[in-house]
Amino acid sequence: MDDYIYSQSVHKDFHGVMSYLIKFIRDNHGEQHMETFFTQAAIYIYKPLIERIKKNNLIEMKKHLEKVFTMEGGKFDIDYKNGEIIFKVHRCPAIWHMKDHNNEVDKDFCKCSTELVNKAIAKECGYSFSVEYNQEKGQCIQRFWEAK
């Protein structure tokens, strides 16, 4: 993302409102609109990141993930080699902030905020993306690799 976003102070209560946005659009307008919104918004919002990945490859995604998860106090391991990122999240700061504050975590939280968003970014750059997540535990394993 833009440097401005990386340098700002963090107000983690916004994760709870994100969860509500997901619930609102799905419950009022259906899953198709939920998926369309997060896919389209990701391509527009992450345009600077997408351009950097196209120019410099997945090292830019690695830097992005490290920055945002470090800013929010997440616990993770990230490995980048042979053109592939393997990103293991042991404690997701968004999920655990909501759980710690007794906020409802929408059932599609990880699907929207990780799967749809990162898949859209990867596809725009000519890469593939997969994720296995356990939303209840706030854990996931994300992979980015070159699309064949």
Name residues contacting other proteins, limited to 50-109 (CB under 8 A). Answer: 68-69, 71-72, 74, 89, 92-94, 103
For 68, residues 6+ apart whose C-beta sits below 8 A from its C-beta are 1, 6
CA 50/CA 33 separation, integer angstroms: 23
Among 30, 40, 56, 83, binds other proteins (CB under 8 A): 40
Q: Give the three-class secondary structure for 81.
A: strand
Among 50, 58, 117, 121, binds other proteins (CB under 8 A): 117
Among 30, 33, 83, 107, binds other proteins (CB under 8 A): 33
CA 17/CA 31 separation, integer angstroms: 18
Please tell me whether residue 143 binds other proteins under the rule CB under 8 A.
no
Q: How many residues sit in the footprint of other proteins (CB under 8 A)?
A: 43
